[in-house]
């Protein structure tokens, strides 16, 4: 029997003050002046290789893109990334919906993350009044200004708009990007993120903001000749969004008789072992389990050079920060 859709407007939401929140900003935020943790020699070599390439990209005005998952924020890397943006070593941020949600919660509440298993069982997972309301209001206001998700939420945090006061702005990468006029894009999935569990849930508003941000990311890819892409802890969003962005760029370039994007380097950082495959040798056969690692396979097809680095995401960024700034 066909079932009617659920009436999400009837969802009961509760204040964040009632949530058992797992991560606190003062406990996780990495001090940029602190010593970076130990990493293996392969990762050290990758960082050493990346540094002159990033500096060369900066010198020629090419894009240096950081595409990251929510765990980079959860692991406390916000101040490291902010300082890299301040010095012009990152020119574009791209994250998923969860990355933007943690970004806002850290900046307003000073804390984020909940126990998924426990809260799904009680019907309270994601049903938090302030998170859903703040982000929807930011995107609605941003729509009137022609802003995408990243800029609209960065503005909300920076300007304390819509009745929200953000006491931990320094924990927000999107706010720092907005302050520095660094482009920042958010690439969500409808039903992927906790703001779907809210009576204000409006897929049209979310979709319009994400549409603008996809075009913004493609604009960053347009400037990638001789540039660098840092893919840090994003196994799904980054490869999927990047390959479509690059295809759009090539489509327009070829109409104009221009060359494809070239001379770019892609560093993919994740904790998984890369399938036991040497990705400098190209794509593995379909009989290899490594073939099904989307975050490696997709980027190995994107031209330029791809390096896979098995490392904790915050540790990689910490070492990159130290090498570039200290």
DSSP string, 149-208: HHHHHHHHHHHT-TT---TTGGG-HHHHHHHHT-EEEEE--TTTSGGGSSTT--HHHHHH
Residue 2 covered by a domain: no
Residue listed under structure tokens 């931990």 = 168
Q: Are 95 and 2 in contact (CB under 8 A)?
A: no
> How many CB atoms within 10 Å of residue 143?
16
Task: Please tell me the distance from the alpha carbon of residue 243 to that of residue 41, in angstroms, as a whole number.
Answer: 30
Residue 4 covered by a domain: no
Mean pLDDT value of segment 212-238:
97
Task: Please tell me the distance from the alpha carbon of residue 128 to that of residue 134, in angstroms, as a whole number.
Answer: 10
At 275, the pLDDT band (50, 70, 90 cuts) reads confident
Mean pLDDT value of segment 80-88:
98
At 59, the pLDDT band (50, 70, 90 cuts) reads very high
CATH number of the domain where residue 167 is located: 3.40.50.10690
How far is the CA of 306 from the CAs of 102, 203, 296, 302, 320, in angstroms? Answer: 29, 35, 8, 8, 17
Residue listed under structure tokens 């070829």 = 254
Q: Which of 321, 262, 326, 246 is nearest to 50 (CA)?
A: 321
Q: Are 152 and 39 in contact (CB under 8 A)?
A: no
Q: Give residue 281's pLDDT.
A: 83
Q: Which of 278, 73, 69, 305 is nearest to 172 (CA)?
A: 73
Q: Give residue 326's pLDDT.
A: 82
Residue 34 covered by a domain: no
Flag whether pLDDT at 102 surpasses 90: yes
Residue 1 covered by a domain: no
What does the pLDDT look like over 122-136, one tens digit per residue?
A: 999 999 999 999 999
Flag whether pLDDT at 283 surpasses 90: no
What does the pLDDT look like over 230-258, one tens digit per residue?
A: 999 999 999 999 999 999 999 999 999 99
Residue 252 covered by a domain: yes
Between 281 and 314, the more confident residue is 314
Q: Give residue 221's pLDDT.
A: 98
The count of domains in the chain is 1
Sequence-distant (6+) residues with CB within 8 A of 98 are 69, 70, 192, 193
What does the pLDDT look like over 171-180, one tens digit per residue?
A: 999 999 999 9
pLDDT more than 70, % of the chain: 100
pLDDT more than 90, % of the chain: 93
Residue 6 covered by a domain: no
Residue listed under structure tokens 């703040």 = 134
Task: Please tell me the distance from the alpha carbon of residue 34 to that of residue 242, in angstroms, as a whole number.
Answer: 33
**H helices within the chain, ranges in order?**
25-28, 41-60, 70-74, 78-86, 97-109, 116-122, 129-145, 149-159, 173-180, 203-222, 237-255, 294-300, 313-325
Strand pairing category for 183-187 and 305-310: unpaired
Q: Give residue 276's pLDDT.
A: 85
Residue 268 covered by a domain: yes
Q: Give residue 294's pLDDT.
A: 85
pTM of structure: 0.96
Flag whether pLDDT at 229 surpasses 90: yes
Q: Give residue 280's pLDDT.
A: 83
Task: Please tell me the distance from the alpha carbon of residue 102 to that of residue 111, in angstroms, as a whole number.
Answer: 8
Residue 7 covered by a domain: no
Query: Could you list the residue range(s) of the whole structural domain that residue 151 is in?
Result: 12-26+39-325
């Amino acid at each position: 029997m066909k079932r009617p859709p659920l009436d999400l407007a009837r969802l009961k939401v509760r204040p964040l003050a009632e949530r058992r929140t797992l991560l606190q900003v003062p406990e996780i935020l990495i001090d940029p002046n602190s010593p970076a943790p130990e990493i293996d020699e392969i990762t050290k070599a990758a960082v050493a290789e990346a540094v002159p390439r990033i500096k060369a990209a900066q010198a020629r005005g090419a894009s240096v893109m950081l595409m990251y998952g929510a765990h980079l924020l959860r692991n406390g890397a916000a101040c490291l990334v902010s300082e890299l943006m301040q010095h012009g070593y990152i020119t574009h941020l791209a994250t998923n919906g969860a990355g933007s949600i943690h970004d806002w919660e850290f900046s307003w509440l000073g804390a984020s993350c909940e126990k998924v298993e426990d809260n799904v069982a009680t019907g309270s997972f994601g049903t938090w009044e302030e998170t859903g309301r703040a982000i929807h209001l930011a995107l609605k206001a941003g729509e009137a200004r022609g802003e995408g998700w990243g800029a609209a939420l960065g503005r909300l945090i920076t300007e304390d708009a819509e009745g929200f006061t953000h006491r931990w702005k320094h924990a927000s990468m999107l706010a720092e990007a907005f302050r520095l006029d660094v482009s920042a894009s958010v690439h969500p999935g409808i039903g992927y993120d906790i703001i779907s569990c809210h009576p204000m849930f409006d897929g049209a508003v979310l979709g319009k903001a994400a549409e603008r941000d996809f075009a913004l990311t493609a604009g960053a890819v347009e400037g990638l000749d001789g540039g660098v892409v840092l893919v840090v802890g994003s196994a799904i969003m980054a490869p999927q969004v990047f390959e479509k962005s690059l295809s759009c760029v090539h489509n327009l370039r070829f109409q104009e008789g221009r060359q494809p994007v070239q001379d770019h380097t892609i560093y993919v950082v994740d904790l998984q072992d890369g399938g036991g495959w040497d990705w400098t040798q190209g794509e593995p056969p379909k009989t290899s389990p490594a073939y099904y690692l989307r975050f490696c396979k997709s980027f190995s097809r994107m031209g330029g050079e791809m390096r896979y680095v098995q490392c904790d995401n915050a540790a990689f960024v910490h070492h990159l920060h130290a090498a570039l700034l200290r």
